[in-house]
């Protein structure tokens, strides 16, 4: 069972490595969106410091969503997904492995690069770990919830735009807690409460989401 999961993660990572531009595009999107806000709002340092957590989090949300439509699409098109569902490994494990691979490729880099963007926004250096940690805890939840939407919209007309309509409302708690943790920390109250709640969301998503993803895949494949 674990072998199957490891195999899927390794395969997806290898595929991502062979097609580096896909990964780079999502990451670049994150950087560009975050860089556009100062141009639109103005470069007043106090204002930028105030909006930085929210802007970086919204950009991360959109960037993570952008790569979701590719999560199952290629496997669905060439029949690999059907074979995975027919295989001996439980579908929930397959689903969790796919979501994990998606996070490693699209979520983890965001958390690593976020401090650089925080630098652009003149955020105090003490907040970098909080921001990175909130993204580390929050982006896997985004991948898990997003995978449900991606599985539901497989092969559906206008899948990409529909996907955003389905999952963005479900992303709200992660956004509030993620940006809130940095806001609280910058107000000197410590962001531990929000980070703990984010961790709780992560545990909840890891427990429940694979079931929902598996059910959605079964619905879409049959």
Query: Torsions phi, psi of 185, nearest 5?
Result: -65, -40
Site for other proteins contains 172 (CB under 8 A): yes
> Token pair of 209, please?
């989401």
Inter-residue contact 49 to 126 (CB < 8 Å)? no
Among 177, 182, 184, 185, binds other proteins (CB under 8 A): 177
Site for other proteins contains 170 (CB under 8 A): yes
Site for other proteins contains 65 (CB under 8 A): no
Site for other proteins contains 113 (CB under 8 A): no
Residue 19 Cβ, how far from other proteins at the closest point, in Å?
A: 28
Residue 166 Cβ, how far from other proteins at the closest point, in Å?
A: 5
Contacting other proteins within 18-47 (CB under 8 A): none
Pick between residue 58 and residue 212 the one whose CB is nearest to other proteins: 212
Inter-residue contact 175 to 154 (CB < 8 Å)? no
Site for other proteins contains 52 (CB under 8 A): no
Residue 9 Cβ, how far from other proteins at the closest point, in Å?
A: 24
Site for other proteins contains 79 (CB under 8 A): no
Contacting other proteins within 138-167 (CB under 8 A): 148, 152-153, 156-159, 162, 165-166
Contacting other proteins within 191-220 (CB under 8 A): 201, 208, 212, 215-216, 219-220
Q: Which residue has the tokens 């401090």?
A: 115
Longest dimension (CA), the chain: 58
Pick between residue 12 and residue 183 the one whose CB is nearest to other proteins: 183
Residues that bind other proteins (CB under 8 A): 148, 152-153, 156-159, 162, 165-166, 168-170, 172-173, 176-177, 180, 201, 208, 212, 215-216, 219-220, 222
């Amino acid at each position: 069972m674990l072998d199957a999961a490891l195999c899927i993660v390794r395969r997806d990572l290898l595929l991502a490595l062979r097609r580096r531009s896909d990964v780079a595009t999502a990451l670049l999107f994150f950087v560009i969106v975050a860089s556009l806000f100062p141009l639109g709002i103005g470069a007043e340092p106090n204002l930028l410091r105030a909006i930085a957590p929210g802007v970086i989090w919204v950009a991360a949300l959109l960037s993570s969503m952008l790569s979701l439509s590719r999560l199952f699409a290629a496997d669905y098109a060439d029949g690999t997904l059907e074979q995975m569902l027919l295989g001996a490994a439980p579908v929930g494990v397959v689903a969790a492995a796919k979501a994990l691979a998606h996070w490693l490729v699209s979520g983890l880099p965001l958390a690593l690069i976020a401090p650089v963007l925080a630098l652009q926004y003149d955020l105090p250096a003490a907040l970098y770990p909080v921001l990175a940690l909130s993204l580390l805890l929050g982006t896997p939840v985004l991948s898990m919830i997003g995978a449900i939407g991606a599985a539901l919209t497989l092969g559906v007309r206008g899948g990409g735009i529909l996907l955003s309509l389905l999952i963005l409302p479900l992303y709200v708690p992660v956004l509030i807690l993620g940006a809130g943790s940095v806001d609280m920390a910058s107000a000197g109250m410590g962001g531990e409460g929000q980070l703990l709640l984010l961790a709780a969301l992560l545990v909840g998503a890891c427990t429940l989401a694979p079931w929902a993803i598996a059910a959605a895949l079964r619905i879409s494949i049959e």
